[in-house]
Amino acid sequence: MGAVAAEMRADPEVFMIGQDIGPFGGAMQGARGLYEEFGPRRIRDAPISESAMVGAAIGAALQGKRPIVEISFGEFLPCAMSQIVLQAANLAYMTAGDAHVPLTIRTRVGDGPYRGHPQSYEAWFAHVPGLKVVMPSTPADAWGLMASAIRDDGPVMVFEQMFLYHAIRDDVPDGEHVVPIGPARIARTGRDATIVATAWMVHRSLEAARVLTDEGVDVEVIDLRTLAPWDQDTVLASVRKTGRLVVAHEAWKVGGFGAEVAATVAERAFDALRAPIARVGAPSIPVPSATALRNLTIPTADAIADAVRSIVHEEEARAWDRSSPSQPRRPPTRMITTGTADDS
């Protein structure tokens, strides 16, 4: 990966550890060329033990190194929960700031071209104080956020959606390219509704927005990019402008990060809402292996478009219009789920 190589060239304390990242080039060739350039001392093939990889990296980080741990796929993160949650995230707090863990954990989540390892656990880690969590949707942001993660003095988790390895091609700015952790990106401006999305769902949201434009609905799409800490100000400003919110992510709807976005908007921008908040996510079932079943589970652009339609055109939403003072005001406590099983 270009950002990893650039940071390794710039800082001799950066090294990478993971399964099959040596001559093989890593899962989905995510470490291709690194072993040939930096050799086995800095590109360290590890046994199949995620807990050992992360534990060793934490020790190295405490000694001044800047390790990158490659966890091939996100479904293996539970194997290192003690090291990530109880150690990496806590050490700065436990030592009153004397200890720092400049650790980057890189992994892949969600559906992909090979239809394997589809679990999306990013919301688990956004819940943990002391961890930063980023989730890029474009090549430029993948580069820039990785650079920021490696340079950060605390633990950062980088979640890469697997379809983005094959489906998205874009230019990366020349020279040093760093995207700060935290600020969201307004991927499309609009006036009628806001969609807040992550990773692959950003592209499906943009596709939905193009379809809705032909129906006279102008949608703003926000690429969250960072889940912890997430950019509340950009989201709230957009919702105050449009009055409507849809949150979309590939992970399960129940407990997904979209619930945090929805709750924050309900708390801080209640008076701006003109319709109930809608959430789009996968139903609470294990992601199926069969292609036909998986296609019914993973949210689609059509599902996102339907969610927007439901809050723009539905009779209940019209009753919320503040231009009709005779209509009763009711709080937006009901969450609409469109295109996936209703888990609310």
Active-site amino acid positions: 50, 117
Q: For 305-328, give one letter per residue: b (16+ CB within 10 A) or e.
A: bbbbbbbbeeeebeebeeeeeeee
Do the Cβ atoms of 14 and 57 come closer than 8 Å? no
How is the chain split among helix, strand and coil, in percent rounded to 5? 40, 20, 45
Q: Where are the strands (E) in 143-225, listed by range?
A: 156-161, 185-188, 193-197, 219-223
Backbone torsion region of residue 26, taken as left when φ is above 0, otherwise alpha when ψ lies between -120 and 50, otherwise beta = left
CA atoms within 13 A on the CB side of 18: 29
Residues whose CB is less than 8 angstroms from the CB of residue 64 and which lie 6 or more positions away in sequence, other chains included = 13
Residue 280, H or E segment:
strand 278-282
Alpha carbons 258 and 64: distance in angstroms, whole number: 36
